[in-house]
Every structure is written in structure tokens, then in C-alpha cells.
Amino acid sequence: MSHHTLSAREHTDDHGPRRRISGVGRVLVFVYGVLALAATGRSVFQIIDRFHEAPVAFALSALSAVVYIVATIALVAPGRSWYRVAWVTISFELAGVLVIGALSLFAPGTLGLHDIDPFGRDATVWSVFGMGYLFIPLVLPILGLFWLSRHHPGEQAAAEQTETGDGARS
């Protein structure tokens, strides 16, 4: 394969003004995408198959899925307003995983859960702080907020140059 031509093209591409995310940030977007897929798949199935069993937990499951999808889009989409959307959705996720995680552990009844098994029938992405998903739902928003705080849209050009320089030359 012609690595050189391709990485050269990518290099010029990344200097375009509209690219919001680059380098290691793309891994973040990818993990968000997978989590959005996981949460959507699970909540759709739970709601179709057995919504009556734990309506509160499954509705939260669906809500978390929507938030993950919006957060994924917000991380990729350019512009200041999407940047704000990313802040809001990712903060919401952190709050969600902390609140729902604590509730599922200490007061599962309030969510209509029958047990606290994070792999069980009633489990959501946020149950027991995301244990069923290797705690990724707990770690990811923290990394996401950290990443956002380091990448304001205004400083994007400068940050991108250093990052892609690193990525493309390796």
C-alpha cells in the first residue's frame, strides 16, 4: 500500500478548518460509538421484550442510549454549539452513571430492579456504575470532559497541528 501518499493527503485534510477531532480523540469517538450501539441494542431489546418488568430502568436505558448517540455526534460535529452539546451530554452521562450506579447498588427497588446483577435481565448500561460494560460508562465521561476542556473550538487549529503531526509521522 502507498502509505506515504495517503498520510500526506490526510495531513492536508486535517488542516481544514472544519475538523473538530483528531488523533487520540478519534479513539474517544469510536468508544462512544460502540457504547451508543451497545446501549441502543440492549434497550431496544429490553423494551420490546419485557418493558413491563422494570419500566423505570428500561426507560433510563433508552434515555442513556439517546444521550450516547447525541454525545457521539456532538464530539464529531464542528462548531461552538455542538461543543456545548458535547459538554451537556457528557456531563449528563457522568451524573447518570453516578446516580443510577449508586441507586442500583444501594436501592435497586427505586428503579424497579429485581436484583443488582449487572449482567442480569434488568441491567442497564449504568447499573452498578457500568460494571457490565467493564466500567467504561464510568471512565468514559471523565476522559470525555478532560478531552473537551483541553480542546476548545477556538484553540482547535493549534491543537490539531501538533496532534496530527504526531499521528501522521508515526
Partner 1 sequence: MIEWFVALQVGVAVIAGVLCLVLGLAGRVPGDVTMGAVALVELLLIVQLVMAIVAPAVGNSPSGSLAEFYIYLISALLLPLAGGFWALIERNRWSTVILGGVCLAIAVMVYRMGQIWFVQGA
Report the amino acid identity of residue 21. Answer: I
Q: Indicate the residue among 44 and 98 with the shorter CB distance to partner 1.
A: 44
* 103 and 110 Cβ atoms separated by less than 8 Å: yes
Burial annotation 41-74 (CB, 10 A radius, 16+ → b, else e): ebbeebeeeeeeebeebbbbbbbbbebbbbbbbb
* Residue 165 contacts partner 1 per CB under 8 A: no
* Residue 38 contacts partner 1 per CB under 8 A: yes
* 67 and 93 Cβ atoms separated by less than 8 Å: yes
Interacting residue with partner 1 among 15, 19, 20, 45 (CB under 8 A) = 45
What residues numbered 115-144 form the site for partner 1, per CB under 8 A?
119, 134
Q: Indicate the residue among 3 and 18 with the shorter CB distance to partner 1.
A: 3
d(C-alpha 78, C-alpha 87), whole Å: 14
d(C-alpha 89, C-alpha 100), whole Å: 16
Interacting residue with partner 1 among 69, 86, 103, 168 (CB under 8 A) = 168
Q: Indicate the residue among 1 and 158 with the shorter CB distance to partner 1.
A: 1
What residues numbered 48-107 form the site for partner 1, per CB under 8 A?
48-49
Segment interacting with partner 1 (CB under 8 A) among 27-35, 59-67, 96-104, 139-147: 27-35
